[in-house]
Amino acid sequence: MDIEKLISEMTLEEKASLLSGADFWHTKAIERLGIPATMMSDGPHGLRKQDDKADHLGINDSIKAVCFPAGSATAASFDREVLRQIGEGIGDACQHEDLSVILGPAVCIKRSPLCGRNFEYFSEDPLLAGELAAALIEGVQSRNVGTSIKHFAANNQEHRRMSSDSVVDERTLREIYLPAFETAVKKAHPWTVMCSYNKVNGVYASENHWLLTEVLRDEWGFDGYVMSDWGAVSDRVKGVTAGLDLEMPSSGGANDARIVEAVKNGTLSEEAVDKSVRCILNIIDRYISNRKPDTEWDLEAQHQLAAKLAAECMVLLKNDDDVLPFGKEEKIAVIGRFAFQPRYQGGGSSHINSFRVESLADALEGNGNTIFAKGYDIVNEEPDEELISEAVEAAALCDKAVIVAGLPDSFESEGYDRTHMRMPRCQVELIERVAKANPNTVVVLYNGAPVEMPWIDCVKGLVEGYLGGQAVGAATKAVLWGEVNPCGRLPESFPIRLEDNPSYLSYQGEGNTALYNEGVFVGYRYYDKKKMEVLFPFGFGLSYTTFTYSNLRLGAVEIDDTQTLDVCVDVTNTGSVSGKEVVQLYVGAPVCSVFRPVRELKGFEKVELAPGETKTVAFKLDKRAFAYWNVRLHDWFVADGDYSIQIGRSSRDIVLCQSVKVTGSVPEPLDPVDPDTIFMDLEKNPKAMRIFGPILQKMMEEFASQGKDQGEAASEAISDEMSRAMMQYMPLRTMLSFGAGEMTYDQLLALTAKINEPD
């Protein structure tokens, strides 16, 4: 396509028409100029290609497809390769089905366990979310199919999702809510970005110039097109100016006409329209000029892949007395509706019409050592005595029991948030009663987000399966019977109770205003800082083998922030079976002028080790590993000091630690000095101290001697240290009242103004 030529030949009306969808899933064609319509489909964990009866809520059917594990599960793999392989599978399916863009990945940060869409999102940690999103994007786009990373930005609740205003301070946005998008955009270059429904600091994301143009394009170098979430457009003309290229779905022509009108009356520049047209045509061209229509989509092969990858995502959270893995000869009671009808995906736009679903019962077909019981009803929350008794009886007859439990569809979905973190009552009672009947009871959970576990001490084993996709049954069997050694790690903290969560006091907001009061202290950044007990910490997960760490070495003891730091550590499998370990690298910052988390994840690698094998895992840390977002510089800033490089099994289990001295290459920006500047801040400013240092010293001495003059009692009451401590909070202007030097207020003002002048 000669895009510039096409633009020059297009009428204003044709240009405007390209800036919104033809219908639910297509861009518009301009036949006169040979511009084809292209189709997109929901993801993120499979295809939801709809035909005539289209909707964005997952209500109407779509073609039969493969449902891979959801974002919550794949994040638990801590494995870029898992995401890449899913991406490649989806990419092939898209080429086969002629889909130019798949709508995902969804990378919003899990601010609260209650968010209805947490099942689709990756993590409470932006580094993990960004790295995994980049891998998925690379996988899909390696097949010459676009992705749409979503929902940009600060979209962390479903409550009032189309009207709420996420009020987030600048540092928190930069450190927590934007970096997953940033990493993915910089590393993997998604073809498109989907802006969110909500407002960000008072402005709809779909009209937010700062977000869509200054940050996304100018800073991060995004070169694709931005599309709206379905129905996220309020003022289309403002949107074009802000950098929203494509409105989805169709506006029925109304907004096309508004765009034309705005250009004609001078409120919108034609260049802005051209810019969006250019971005959209670029991506259309990228897709159609490299079409691979012959790509095969082998559903059965992808089902097997989904099974293999789901097993890599399961997290073994408890395994007392090595209750797992089950032995082939052991008699096992398999209990719970979800063992027959697994909950393997979430509700809403990501809902996939799976061509096949494999439950645990299906996977166990022919296994003579298992007996089954339903245990609970999925629809009715109340305990059913008959079902429970049957399950208890089965459990009592067996060596061990496994209960497949979790959250039913109605508990968590796109479109609304949970109101509590509890499991259905029928399941809680079932677990407690079965565990009494059989001390070797294991629970497997299928859920999209953490639940409270009042029963945790009654059971010996626990596997968190999240929403594992259509082959979840095969994966569950593989993990329970030890065909696969579990290697998932929690991508989020599991609090003991909902009230422990840092956003508890302000989540969902008041009316349309959602204040992100907890700032950067999201997830483990909060629990670790508060030294708070959690049910399971971020990064935690067990294995059927054991790993030890040794020989942590840093490439330098001292660096400046323009240099990188090499970090290596050896990991050894000290058990008797092969397994995969997730090596987690955290950085702890020194005390500086802003509040910082105790530690933050700055690297992770998954390694496979045979029994007795040792491997060296290497990381490279750059400036961002040490920096915080400085709101005076509006940039990343490294404070001088000793940083601890920590290797951990989770955010709560740091096994090796060493420190490196890091020097920032720019000085910390100082507040301007004026008569209200307090002495403590003045002391940080060398230029100010050259002028005021002697005066301050004199004041200090006088202050101390005044105490002494007032007798022994006074000098005992106020020691030198005490007067120094008190004085540090006194503003500069007090020197006028306390008589240190002959100076008027105006002279003082003039002096401070001089200090602020650049040298």
List contacts with ligand BGC (CB under 6 A).
42, 56, 103, 150, 229-230, 349
The edge-to-edge listing of strands for the beta sheet with 641-650 is 558-560, 653-663, 641-650, 579-588, 600-609
Q: How far is the CB of 56 from ligand BGC (least distance, A)?
A: 3
DSSP per residue over 366-401, as a string?
A: T-TTEEEE--S-SS--S--HHHHHHHHHHHHHSSEE
Consecutive H or E run containing 73:
helix 71-76
Q: How far is the CB of 64 from ligand BGC (least distance, A)?
A: 18
Active-site residue identified among 229, 500, 528, 561: 229
Which one, of 473, 627, 464, lies nearest residue 535 by Cα? 464
DSSP per residue over 333-350, as a string?
A: EEESGGGTS---S-BSTT
Q: How far is the CB of 326 from ligand BGC (least distance, A)?
A: 39
Shorter beta-carbon distance to ligand BGC: residue 150 or 160: 150
Q: Is the peptide bond before 44 cis (omega within 30 degrees of 0)?
A: yes
Q: How far is the CB of 267 from ligand BGC (least distance, A)?
A: 29
Sequence-ordered alpha helix ranges (H) in 107-228:
126-141, 170-172, 179-188, 209
Which one, of 99, 49, 46, 44, lies nearest residue 287 by Cα? 99
The token duo for 22 is 């033809």
Q: CA-based Rg of the chain, rounded to a whole angstrom? A: 30
Confirm whether 169 is a catalytic residue.
no
Q: How far is the CB of 95 from ligand BGC (least distance, A)?
A: 20
Q: How far is the CB of 151 from ligand BGC (least distance, A)?
A: 6
Shorter beta-carbon distance to ligand BGC: residue 229 or 417: 229
Cα of 420 vs its chain's centroid, Å: 21
Question: Using an 8 Å Cβ cutoff, are 390 and 93 in contact?
Answer: no
Q: How far apart are CA 657 and CA 165, in angstroms?
A: 41
Shorter beta-carbon distance to ligand BGC: residue 44 or 603: 44
User: What secondary structure, in 3-state letters, does 81-101 show?
Assistant: HHHHHHHHHHHHHHHHHCCCE
Q: Output helix, strand, coil percentages for the chain, rounded to the nearest 5.
A: 35, 20, 45
Shorter beta-carbon distance to ligand BGC: residue 148 or 630: 148
Shorter beta-carbon distance to ligand BGC: residue 38 or 723: 38
- Give the DSSP letter of residue 666: S
Q: How far apart are CA 737 and CA 726, in angstroms?
A: 16
Shorter beta-carbon distance to ligand BGC: residue 56 or 433: 56
Shorter beta-carbon distance to ligand BGC: residue 200 or 480: 200
Q: How far is the CB of 48 from ligand BGC (least distance, A)?
A: 7
Tokens 């009316």: give the residue. 511
Please calculate the CA angle 180-184-188 and round it to the nearest 5 degrees: 170
Shorter beta-carbon distance to ligand BGC: residue 114 or 589: 114
Shorter beta-carbon distance to ligand BGC: residue 143 or 150: 150
Burial (Cβ within 10 Å: 0-12, 13-18, ≥19) of residue 234? middle
Q: How far apart are CA 367 and CA 568, in angstroms?
A: 45
Residue 541 has phi, psi (to 5 degrees) of 180, 140
Please calculate the CA angle 132-660-584 and round it to the nearest 5 degrees: 25
Query: What is the set of active-site residues?
Result: 229
